[in-house]
Amino acid sequence: MPETTFTVRWPDGAEQRCWSPSLVVHDHLAVGASYPVEEFLDRTRTALATASERVRARYGFACTAAAAQLAEIEGVAAASAAGEVRVLSMDPARVPS
């Protein structure tokens, strides 16, 4: 199953490299886009939950690494000032269809 890494910049300027077990994150975040912190959380919750369910469908168990990544993102968000989270990059990049 292809995985995705994505790098974001939080409102305080800190950058965080994140991971998803699936390419589904491309359906929820766009490189170069900025999202209010709460919207970014909603989008990553949906993306990582969907990715975890894809792992469950394929292997019979949820992806605990996706849950851990979400917990890390939520921790950073809780300590973050209001503002926007910018998506700096995703690897692999989305291939146009």
**3-state class (DSSP) for residue 70:** helix
User: Tens digit of pLDDT for each residue in 66-76?
Assistant: 999 999 999 99
The closest alpha carbon to 12, from 78, 68, 93, belongs to 78
**What pLDDT is attached to residue 95?**
60
**What pLDDT is attached to residue 45?**
96
Q: Pick the more confident residue, 96 or 30.
A: 30
Domain residue extents for the chain: 4-91
Q: Cite the beta strand spans of the chain per DSSP E.
A: 4-9, 15-20, 34-36, 84-91
User: Tens digit of pLDDT for each residue in 78-88?
Assistant: 998 889 999 99
The closest alpha carbon to 35, from 17, 8, 70, belongs to 8
**What pLDDT is attached to residue 88?**
98
The closest alpha carbon to 74, from 34, 43, 95, 52, belongs to 43
Give the mean model confidence (pLDDT) for residues 49-55: 92
Average model confidence (pLDDT) across the chain: 92
